[in-house]
Amino acid sequence: MSAPRRPSDPSGLERYYVLTGGRSGPGGSASSLDVATLVVSRAAPLPGMQHEHEEILRRCRDPLSVAELGAHLGLPFNILAVLLSDLLDAGRVEARNPIPAHDAGRGPDLALLEEVLSGLERL
């Protein structure tokens, strides 16, 4: 019986361990991240930054959800959350919470829509 083979490139769990410095989950301000949370860069990448941090800052020049960002980078949510935690703590990105579910079902104010429609009809 032979020993299990190890992958020749660090593309699995070893890579994630290195990317996160051994951390398994975010802490502090990033602990409330959701897949729908929008992330926006507040600063440009610095020379010598970790490649993944640079990519996050580049891709988030315009608001991008955590789910979209994870798909672009090919990273699982918990790994991405750790990386975002680093950037949030450094003030390099801003996280905007999604609309709470109890507010999502409410539509716009009906009276306001009627006024807008009335104004458009007068044009």
What residues contact residue 31 under an 8 Å CB cut-off, 6+ apart? 25, 85
Give tens-digit pLDDT for 39-63: 999 999 989 898 889 999 999 999 9
CATH number for the domain spanning 51: value is 1.10.10
Q: What is the pTM of this model?
A: 0.65
Residue 19 domain-assigned (yes or no): no
Residue 85 domain-assigned (yes or no): yes
Residue 9 domain-assigned (yes or no): no
Burial class of 32 by CB neighbour count within 10 A (0 to 12, 13 to 18, 19+): exposed
**Residue 38: domain span:** 27-101
Residue 33 domain-assigned (yes or no): yes
Asked if the model's pLDDT at residue 1 lies above 80, the reply is: no
Q: Give pLDDT, residue 30.
A: 61
Number of domains forming the structure of the chain = 1
Asked if the model's pLDDT at residue 79 lies above 50, the reply is: yes
